[in-house]
Amino acid sequence: MHEMGVAMQIIEIATASIPDEMKGSRVERVNLKVGKLAAIVPDSLRFCFQIASQDTPLAGAELVIEELPVLASCNDCRFQWTINEPVFVCQKCNSGSIQLLSGRELNIESIELAEKDEGNVDKDL
């Protein structure tokens, strides 16, 4: 629903993170991590990114989305499991005291810039 706004912010953040000496380089790839419990639809985000990146330094860049599972850990029995349905209770001891180890991410991990005749350069964020 809000993927266009998120796409525009990704473009803004990625554009600002291009080092001065590499301004003007083409951005080949933006690597993103998105948790399954983030309210983000990857297909919509890719679609919006493609449109919103036109006429920016990210035009034509590929948005690579790694989806992270909702991983939970029980504070009582230390059991770890992947949550695949809306039940946030320990599968082993039934405790409600759990923490989420992953699943809420919406992180730009890196952008990859094309360098003239020198292949790709990773820029960690």
Partner 1 sequence: MSSPGSGKTTTLEKTLARIMPDVTSAVIVGDICTTHDADRLAQTGAPVVQVNTDEFGGDCHLAAHVIEKAVTNIDLEAIDLLIVENIGNLVCPAEFDIGEDARVVVLSVTEGEDKPVKYPLMFRECDAALLNKIDLLPYLDYDKKAAVAYIHQIHPDMPVFEISAKTEDGFDPWINWLKSKVDQKIN
Question: Interface residues with partner 1 (CB under 8 A)?
Answer: 1-2, 4-5, 37-40, 86-89, 95-98
* Residue 70 and residue 80 in contact, taking contact as beta carbons nearer than 8 Å: no
What number of other Cβ atoms are within 10 A of residue 5's Cβ? Answer: 11
Specify the residue, 26 or 104, whose C-beta has the smaller distance to partner 1.
104
CB-wise, 1 or 16, nearer to partner 1?
Answer: 1
Q: What are phi and psi of 10, to 5 degrees?
A: -60, -45
At closest approach, how far in Å is the CB of 35 from partner 1?
10
CB 79 within 8 A of CB 73: yes
- Give least dist CB 25 to partner 1, A: 28
The distance from CA 85 to its chain's CA centroid, rounded to whole angstroms, is 22
Output 24 or 86, the one with its CB closest to partner 1.
Answer: 86
